């Protein structure tokens, strides 16, 4: 059962919203304490629904439970304020560990591949298994949270309906994890700014090895496995959404139950990336299966 908190209580537990953990497309997140339990309090921005619709959506989100989904503990709906209270994830968001901006130790290949599998399992549950099928439309490293042991959990699922978002591509996140760079990186030479365009070029020239994150020697020593992971990303990024794998198929590929060795990366090209968005804009009706 979700707990309904007063705005005053959440302001108190976050010390006046003073300990900011981060900003996201849906609002700011603050660290709080409820008794001896640490929590993350998200103060939503841009929520345009009335209280009745908000409560109905929160009830749906709160009924979903999976080991690879961040758990919703409670909420607040007072006047124009809309807040959500989540379990606290000690390692923060994945972007802090793959973009090399926070002086964190680089993640080894074993950890990265496990994180990718965790993300796939969380999305598979949302898209194919839970009673309320939810298409997560804002998948990006900022919305993947890590616990003490670097187990990954998907956050912000269901919020696209509250905030009106319509973006997603699991293959983009996968490529960011294995390459250690952003999808759109303006610090790169002009021809390399867009990761997915670069992926297309390297696949055509059979030079996928060039995209492996070179910050970690361990990544290079596992280059064959990393390249197979890139081929899986390409499969997820095909032009024709009908040909993209379902998340359950992605999990089988990650666990070795099916092979992607035979995938022709020259005939299966990823979609053209759009520099104005985080990832390729897709219609919500197309997102219940693939990704």
Task: Show binding-site residues for ATP.
Answer: 42
How far is residue 128's CA from residue 84's CA, in Å, rounded to a whole number? 25
How far is residue 103's CA from residue 75's CA, in Å, rounded to a whole number? 33
How far is residue 202's CA from residue 210's CA, in Å, rounded to a whole number? 7
Q: Which residues are catalytic?
A: 138
How far is residue 175's CA from residue 267's CA, in Å, rounded to a whole number? 19
Residue pair 135/198 in contact by the 8 Å Cβ criterion: no
The count of C-alpha atoms lying within 13 angstroms of the C-alpha of 186, restricted to the half-sphere facing its C-beta, is 3
Residue pair 173/123 in contact by the 8 Å Cβ criterion: no
Which tokens belong to 230?
Answer: 């890139």
- What are the binding residues? 42
Which tokens belong to 21?
Answer: 């953990």
């Amino acid at each position: 059962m979700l707990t309904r908190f007063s705005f005053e209580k959440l302001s108190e537990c976050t010390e006046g919203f003073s300990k900011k953990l981060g900003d996201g497309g849906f609002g700011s997140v603050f660290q709080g304490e409820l008794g001896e339990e640490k929590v993350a309090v998200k103060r939503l921005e841009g929520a345009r629904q009335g209280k009745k619709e908000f409560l109905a959506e929160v009830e749906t989100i709160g009924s979903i439970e999976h080991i690879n989904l961040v758990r919703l503990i409670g909420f607040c709906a007072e006047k124009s304020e809309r807040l959500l209270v989540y379990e606290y994830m000690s390692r923060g968001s994945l972007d802090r560990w793959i973009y090399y901006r926070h002086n964190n130790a680089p993640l080894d290949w074993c950890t990265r591949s496990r994180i990718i599998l965790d993300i796939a399992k969380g999305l598979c549950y949302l898209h194919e298994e839970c009673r309320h099928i939810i298409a997560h439309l804002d998948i990006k490293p900022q919305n993947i949270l890590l616990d003490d042991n670097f187990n990954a959990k998907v956050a912000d699922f269901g919020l696209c309906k509250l905030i009106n978002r319509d973006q997603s591509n699991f293959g983009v996140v996968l490529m960011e994890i294995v390459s250690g760079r952003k999808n759109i990186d303006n610090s790169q030479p002009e021809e390399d700014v867009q990761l997915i365009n670069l992926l297309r070029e390297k696949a055509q020239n059979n030079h996928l090895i060039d995209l492996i994150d070179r910050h970690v020697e361990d990544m290079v020593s596992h280059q064959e496995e990393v390249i197979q992971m890139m081929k899986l990303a390409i499969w997820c990024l095909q032009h024709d959404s009908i040909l993209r794998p379902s998340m359950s198929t992605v999990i089988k590929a990650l666990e070795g139950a099916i092979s992607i060795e035979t995938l022709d990366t020259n005939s299966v090209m990823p979609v053209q990336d759009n520099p104005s968005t985080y990832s390729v804009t897709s219609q919500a009706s197309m997102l219940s299966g693939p990704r």
